[in-house]
Amino acid sequence: MADINSPLEIGVTTGPIRGSRKIHVGPHRVAMREIVLEPSCGEPPVRVYDTSGPYTDPAATIDIATGLPLLRRPWQMARGDVEAYDAREVQPEDNGLKGPDRSAGVPAYPNTIRRPLRAKAGGNISQMHYARRGIITPEMEYVAERENLGREFVRKEMDGNSWGAEIPEYVTPEFVRDELARGRAIIPSNVNHPECEPMAIGRNFLVKINANIGNSAVASDVAAEVDKLVWSIRWGADTVMDLSTGRNIHDTREWIIRNSPVPIGTVPIYQALEKVGGIAEDLTWEIFRDTLIEQAEQGVDYFTIHAGVRLPYIPMTAKRVTGIVSRGGSIMAKWCLSHHRESFLYEHFDEITEICAAYDIAYSLGDGLRPGSIADANDEAQFAELYTLGELTKRAWAQDVQVMIEGPGHVPMHKIKENMTKQLEACGEAPFYTLGPLVTDIAPGYDHITSGIGAAQIGWYGTAMLCYVTPKEHLGLPDRDDVKVGVVTYKLAAHAADLAKGHPAAQVRDDALSRARFEFRWRDQFNLSLDPETAEQYHDQTLPAEGAKTAHFCSMCGPKFCSMKITQEVRDFAAKQNAPIQTFVAVEEAEAGMAAMSEKYREGGNELYIGANGREQD
Amino acid sequence: MADINSPLEIGVTTGPIRGSRKIHVGPHRVAMREIVLEPSCGEPPVRVYDTSGPYTDPAATIDIATGLPLLRRPWQMARGDVEAYDAREVQPEDNGLKGPDRSAGVPAYPNTIRRPLRAKAGGNISQMHYARRGIITPEMEYVAERENLGREFVRKEMDGNSWGAEIPEYVTPEFVRDELARGRAIIPSNVNHPECEPMAIGRNFLVKINANIGNSAVASDVAAEVDKLVWSIRWGADTVMDLSTGRNIHDTREWIIRNSPVPIGTVPIYQALEKVGGIAEDLTWEIFRDTLIEQAEQGVDYFTIHAGVRLPYIPMTAKRVTGIVSRGGSIMAKWCLSHHRESFLYEHFDEITEICAAYDIAYSLGDGLRPGSIADANDEAQFAELYTLGELTKRAWAQDVQVMIEGPGHVPMHKIKENMTKQLEACGEAPFYTLGPLVTDIAPGYDHITSGIGAAQIGWYGTAMLCYVTPKEHLGLPDRDDVKVGVVTYKLAAHAADLAKGHPAAQVRDDALSRARFEFRWRDQFNLSLDPETAEQYHDQTLPAEGAKTAHFCSMCGPKFCSMKITQEVRDFAAKQNAPIQTFVAVEEAEAGMAAMSEKYREGGNELYIGANGREQD
């Protein structure tokens, strides 16, 4: 077992991603990553959104036992609307049935905030509340700076189909405020998670992705979980959910939050269930409420609450092929059945909302009745719950509490759009947060791909955040490699959605990489890709020689022929001749032009450079 | 170097896929795969489309040096419209610049057909020609049987959006004939590839996938290529393209065709280029024509011909970010530039068509000007070529020759649909055959996924065949593992498209797998998946114990909680109470029903079974 007090033993990965450097922009020193290109190309560095926190900053000192700096604390105090108080005492049951299991190597976190903050009595410190009062917070300014990434390079005309979203050419703090006020975006920001770098989840911002971590009764431990947190944000996770169950839940979560620069989400019912020995029917509102307070004080930024699983909807799942597949949903279904009562989450919803308002915790209204198979997609149970989530959204908004809505699941492509349309209509444009969806059930072992296909599409249609799926989905617990593959797959799906929506900054990186490909700048290609290590490894498997990285050829055509080079020739002629470019020319006209061009060609000597690059076969 | 005469040395994989058995259906003994489920479930075996040929048939004797049985030969002879003749002599240049390099381990194939067949003088033996004369061939009957797969199990109402395709509830030989006659489908079937099991490519049939193999000047050898052929069809490749360049092209192709139960496609210009020392401008119509005859006699089933790369379109590529990325396209562009003449492929198109008619070779009209980057998608050069391909399609159809059209490439999601719409309009519904498209440029190393996202969508919109992309795309040459990952990724994309189009048989396998998941039938889940080995490996990484494969729990929830079980309880109550199922019930009404249900529940004792299965986290 690793010595938890040693970051090295925990194996957290630090240091910059290859070819990149950390920069800080604007008055709030917003962290971004800059990919530096070969001087030969004369192109500026490419700025990319950076979720990795101080772990990729060579200047930062990382000490897992101390935690990250409290970035937001000054902003919070300056608002003068919070009070510190004595934290609820940690109970043995907070760490699972038999209490903390030290043998599993989870000591209490050495640097816990003993005096958490909350809104002064009767107050509301949610970002939505400030926004509705016309206040632009530093969090909103930070988000505006962060989202504008690379827009300065961008040509003005928008290209894309955003399906009715209202993506601005440039994000101003006022735009962020307005989106928050309207409930179209959220900034998850529990007052007790001051380490968090503000980020926005909303249809008119860049599409975000979430990575799930968490131990389970069967495997894993806290060292591995902290490592997975740092590893997943290194590759691009915008938020992380701690889905731990079993023992040491409280302590594990503390280690994670204190070291997380991204919002942390949880499903509080998981921990509540542990407190009652795993017997769903023994759950009570009091135990659940106590768990919310416990997690609120630790700094959880958003809660998945399955308040839409109402008693009358449960029979609608009876004829399904896979019934209820959401763990939270099935816990509540079991409780409702055994007590033949309406869900206590639904009945106490407004009280939960009060807690959220006091700490600025965002709702992630859970889709406990989402389909777990193609056969069950878009059925009555699913949409009955969705419309209830819409009703609850309005109730949360009445208290100025931030809300996003969780979505499926397993959905064939032709039924994906309906999910987005109904969600926008039922939930007043509150951000949609979906798991996939998987577009077929027949590929276990490849469900990061079956779900990446659905995720890219629903992201294009307007989903604000995509919950990743790893290759181990349905089969086992993801290891470090699975987490990376899941994150990179979702990052590319989210980016594909940004491109299709016509996000002004999105294409900058594609164009830079494609120019590097055309110009044989291999290292730039690797560094501009989502996973530089893998790109270089694959290249080297065929052409290991260091020289091959600068050579003007690749293994696809070999050192004999180059399609890219021919384009360069076409380009040269066109330039010399001022031949008509990008405008359709009649055959005769062009042939005339080409005759002259060909003369020049022969004069110039028509030797080909060696090799080819970026060609696709055929 | 492996001894080419020993299949074992070549390392061809034989034997059934785990959990499956080979069956033969109907008068033509159409090969299919049956996945046998655990007796406990009482479900019939699931039939799946089988591209693997005799290699997965334990009863078959495999001898790579002898080749596969000549399945179609009796049908061909019975038609009485072909003649055997002395094959063109194999020339040294057929095997590359320096002639065959035996040291590279490529002996001439020992069992070559020395007397190839062709249509009797002036005749036409294309499947389209027969179809238009109202003749239903055994090939059409075979295809009908093959496509109907599992439809007998299917509930009648169609579910899906086929974007105007006309998918029949049941495929009859007459339907196949009609689709061929209209040019909406093709059956690639060179008379000299009698080993081929007939298959159809068309918008109203199951979506097909192609795998590219082929050596290159830089790597690989014939043993590896034959192995890749067998390996790629084992996992589901419907056709295979041999994109070999460099030496031993002729002999390598012979080894591949004689051992292939699927249609083989080539890009003849690659070999023609080798014959002129790699100097594009030295290509002539005579050399190209001779190469077509050479390949026609070997049995190539479809030719990629870049006849749409016309002289006047070349300047349109000058302002592109990645210019011309198609190798065939750039060869022709270079030829046109240096001779300032119209492409000889375009000028001699009708003569090429005559050759195709005499051997029944299908056209795959190449998109030599397809975009190689997001920036170049859907531009003027691309669509100018597409409309020329449409003109050529009609010219080929005038001679009753089968045609499909190649498509891009790199296209952001919002521009994919336009590609399909314009292709249908320009090419009279001739089958579309696309490479991906990749929906972003920024993920080298993951381009099987970036392209799988685009492939699933364009397949849904109506593309008939999807050309796979491996993780090595843009970086290097795919190895055996890359080929498998590429094939499985495209298989799932094609299946997702079939589901979304509402293909009557498509959902059978999803439902069977989801039922197995719900009922904890782990082995059935593995066996029903596209890649059983990987599914089981991933499962065992978390829970290696053999017992875990029969246990009623999995690693996601651990041995404590089961969401699936709860559904079973919901189901039982519903049944007992005849509670309203699948019909929306008013809250009060339901609560009343549930009250009674709950009594029963408590009576029955509400202990949970151990464990959980199929749950997705949250």
Comparison of pLDDT for B219 and A457, the residue scoring more: A457
Read off the tokens for A279: 């017997």
Whether the Cβ atoms of residue B147 and residue B30 lie closer than 8 Å to each other: no
Query: What is the average per-residue pLDDT within B512-529?
Result: 94
Bridge partners of A23, per DSSP, are A32
* Vertex A205: Cα angle to A200 and A207 (nearest 5): 90
Chain A residue with the nearest C-alpha to that of B241: A618
Please judge whether A517 and B218 are an interchain contact, meaning their C-beta atoms are less than 8 angstroms apart. Answer: no
Question: Does the domain formed by B72-503 have CATH 3.40.50.720?
Answer: no
Q: Which residues of A touch B310 (CB under 8 A)?
A: 587
**A11-21 b/e with 16+ CB inside 10 Å = b?**
ebebeebebbe
Q: Which of A208, A204, A324 is CA-nearest to residue A265?
A: A208
A365 phi/psi in degrees, rounded to 5: -70, 115
Cβ of residue A560 closer than 8 Å to a chain B Cβ: yes
**Residue ranges of A 592-611 with Cβ closer than 8 A to chain B:** 593-595, 597-598, 601-602, 606, 608
A201-202/A185-186 β-pairing: antiparallel
For residue B399, the distance in angstroms to the closest alpha carbon of chain A comes to 25
- Residues in Cβ contact with B272 at an 8 Å cutoff, skipping those fewer than 6 apart: B283, B287, B288, B291
Q: Is the pLDDT of residue A610 over 50?
A: no
Confidence (pLDDT) at A246: 79
Residue of chain A whose Cα is closest to the Cα of B450: A492
pLDDT computed for residue A5 by the predictor: 43
Contact B493 A453 (CB under 8 A): yes
Lowest mean pLDDT among A32-36, A104-108, B102-106: B102-106
> Which among A58, A179, A261, A170 is positioned nearest to A504, based on CA atoms?
A170
DSSP class of B183: T
Residue B547 phi/psi, 5-degree rounding, is -60, -30
ipTM: 0.91
- pLDDT exceeding 90 applies to what percent of chain B? 73
pLDDT band at residue B581 under the 50/70/90 scheme = very low
pLDDT score for A218: 59
A184 is in an annotated binding site: no
Q: Is the dihedral of CA B408, B412, B413, B415 positive or negative?
A: negative
Assess whether pLDDT exceeds 90 at residue A267: yes
Residue B95's pLDDT is 85
φ and ψ at residue B160, rounded to 5 degrees? 155, 175
Question: With an 8 Å Cβ cutoff, is B578 touching chain A?
Answer: no
Mean pLDDT of chain B: 87
Contact B199, B262 (CB under 8 A): yes
Distance, CA of B359 to CA of B355 (rounded, Å): 7
Residue B7 pLDDT more than 90? no
- Within 8 A by CB and 6+ apart from A538, the residues are B444, B445, B471, B472, B475, B476
Q: What pLDDT score does B222 carry?
A: 79
Task: Please say if the pLDDT value at position B526 is more than 70.
Answer: yes
Residue B192 is inside which H or E element, if any? none
As a whole number, mean pLDDT of residues A555-575 equals 65
Question: Whose CA is closest to B171, among B149, B201, B148?
Answer: B148
A212 touching B, CB under 8 A? yes
Ligand-binding annotation for A50, yes or no, is no
- B443 to chain A, any CB pair closer than 8 A? The answer is yes
The pair of structure tokens assigned to A449 is 């791909």
Q: B580: which 2 tokens?
A: 């309203």
Angle between helices B447-461 and B416-426 (to 10 degrees): 50
**A208-213 and A239-242 strand pairing:** parallel
B226 is written with which tokens?
Answer: 């034959």
Half-sphere exposure for B492 (CA within 13 Å, toward CB): 32
CA distance A201 to A477: 27
pLDDT at residue B5 in the model: 43
Whether residue B337 and residue A591 make contact (CB cut-off 8 A), yes or no, is no
Nearest by CB to B530, which of A336, A446, A608?
A446
- Interface touch B413/A582, C-beta < 8 Å: no
CA angle B596, B601, B604 (to 5 degrees): 130
Q: Which residue has the tokens 């699972």?
A: A96
A368 annotated ligand-binding residue = yes
Chain A hits for B445, Cβ within 8 Å: 529-531, 534-535, 537-538
Give residue-wise pLDDT tens across range B87-118.
999 888 888 765 555 555 567 788 776 799 99
In terms of Cα–Cα distance, which of B464, B463, B482, B480 is closest to B472?
B482
What are the pLDDT digits (tens) for B457-468? 999 999 999 999
CB neighbour list of residue A214: distance below 8 Å, 6 or more residues apart = A220, A225, A241, A242, A243, A244, A245, A252, B617
Per-residue pLDDT band for B500 (boundaries 50, 70, 90) equals very high
The per-residue pLDDT for range A379-409, each reduced to its tens digit, is 999 999 999 999 999 999 999 999 999 999 9
Average pLDDT over residues A533-557: 74
pLDDT at residue A156, rounded to an integer? 56
C-alpha to C-alpha distance for A132 and A276, rounded to whole angstroms:
40
With 90 as the cut, is the pLDDT of residue B486 above it?
Answer: yes
Give the DSSP letter of residue A83. E
Using the Cβ of A323 and the Cβ atoms of chain B, whether some distance falls under 8 Å is answered with yes
A367 belongs to an annotated ligand binding site: yes
List the binding residues of B for substrate: 212, 241, 270, 306, 326-328, 367-370, 406, 433
Mean of pLDDT over chain A: 88
| Alpha-carbon A372 to chain mean position | 22
CA–CA distance, B303 with B433 (Å, rounded to integer) = 13
Name the E strands within B442-485. Answer: 465-467
Name the DSSP letter for residue B56: G
Query: Is the pLDDT reported for residue B131 higher than 50?
Result: yes
Q: How many CB pairs under 8 A join A and B?
A: 569
Non-local CB neighbours of B217 within 8 Å, separated by 6+ positions = A557, A558, A559, A560, B245, B246, B247
Q: Which residues of B touch A531 (CB under 8 A)?
A: 443, 445-446
Hey, which bits of B403-456 come out as E strands? Answer: 403-407, 432-435
Rounded (5°) CA angle B407-B412-B417: 60
Residues of B within 8 A of A319 (CB-CB) are 571, 574, 581-582
How near does any CA of chain A get to the CA of B174, in Å?
A: 29
The reported pLDDT for the residue numbered A415 is 98
Model confidence pLDDT, tens digit, residues B330-374? 999 999 988 999 999 999 999 999 999 999 999 999 999 999 999
**CA-closest candidate to residue A236, choices A445, A10, A451, A55:** A55
- List beta partners, residue B23: B32
Confidence bin at A325 (pLDDT 50/70/90): very high
- Residues in chain B closer than 8 A to A575 (CB atoms): 318
Name the percent of chain B in helix, strand, coil, to the closest 5. 45, 10, 45
* Inter-chain touch A337–B598, beta carbons under 8 Å: yes
Q: List the helix and strand counts (H, then E) for chain A.
A: 21, 15
A333-383 tens-digit pLDDT:
999 988 999 999 999 999 999 999 999 999 999 999 999 999 999 999 999
Query: Cβ–Cβ of B492/A212 closer than 8 Å?
Result: no
Annotated domain spans of chain B:
72-503, 561-617
A578 at the B interface (CB within 8 A)? no
Name which of B355, B334, B121 is nearest A562 in CA terms: B334
Give A1's DSSP letter.
-
Is A482 annotated in some ligand binding site?
no
The reply to whether residue A446 touches residue B492, judged by beta carbons under 8 angstroms, is: yes
Tell me the C-alpha distance between A140 and B557, whole Å. Answer: 38
Q: What DSSP state is assigned to residue A498?
A: H
Q: What is the pLDDT of residues A214-232, one digit of tens each?
A: 876 555 577 888 999 999 9
- Coil, strand or helix at A179: helix
Q: Strand, helix or coil at A559?
A: coil
Rounded distance, CA B551 to CA A136, Å? 55
B residues 527-546 lying closer than 8 A (beta carbon) to A: 528-531, 534-535, 537-539, 541-543
Return the beta strands (E) in A72-115 as ranges: 82-84
Report whether pLDDT(A61) > 50.
Answer: yes
Contact criterion met (CB < 8 Å) for B412 and A496: yes
| Tokens found for residue B184 | 């909406």
DSSP result, B311-339: GGGGGGGTT-SS---BHHHHHHHHHHHHH
Whether residue A573 has pLDDT greater than 50 = yes
Q: pLDDT confidence of A465, banded at 50, 70, 90?
A: very high
Residue A607 — φ and ψ, nearest 5°?
-65, 140
Q: Is the pLDDT score of A581 beyond 50? A: no
Q: Is B285 helix (H, G, I), strand (E, B) or coil?
A: helix
Quick check: B582 and A319 CB within 8 A?
yes
Q: Is the pLDDT of residue A609 over 70?
A: no
More confident residue, A565 or A446: A446
Q: Which residue has the tokens 């290609």?
A: A525
Q: Alpha-carbon distance A545 to B582, whole Å?
A: 63
Question: Judging by beta carbons within 10 Å of its beta carbon (0-12, 13-18, 19+), is residue B422 exposed, middle or buried?
Answer: middle
Quote the pTM value: 0.92
- Indicate yes or no: CB of B510 within 8 angstroms of CB of A375: yes
Residue B557 scores a pLDDT above 50: yes
pLDDT of residue A112: 75
* Tokens 């004080």 found at: A297
- Structure-token pair, residue A455: 């995720």
Report the sign of the C-alpha dihedral through residues A189, A191, A193, A198, in that order.
positive
* pLDDT value at A606 more than 50: no
Q: Which residues fall within 8 angstroms of residue A396, CB to CB, at 6 or more apart? A: A349, A353, A356, A363, A402, A403
pLDDT over threshold 70, residue A599: no
Residue A209 pairs in a beta bridge with: A466
pLDDT (0 to 100) of residue B221: 75
Residue A46: strand pairing partners:
A35
Tens digits of per-residue pLDDT, B278-304? 889 999 999 999 999 999 999 999 999
pLDDT attached to residue B278? 87
Q: Where are the alpha helices (DSSP H) in A437-521?
A: 447-461, 480-501, 507-518
At residue A550, the pLDDT reads 61
Quick check: A618 contacting B, CB < 8 Å?
Answer: yes
Least CB-CB distance to A334: which of B441, B566, B575? B566
Q: Find the closest chain A residue to B220 by CA distance.
A: A542
Convert A30-45 into a string of H (helix), E (strand) and C (coil). EEEEEECCCHHHCCCC
Distance from CA of A492 to the nearest CA of B (A): 7
Using CA atoms of B36, B37, B40, B44 in order, give the dihedral in degrees to the nearest 10: -70
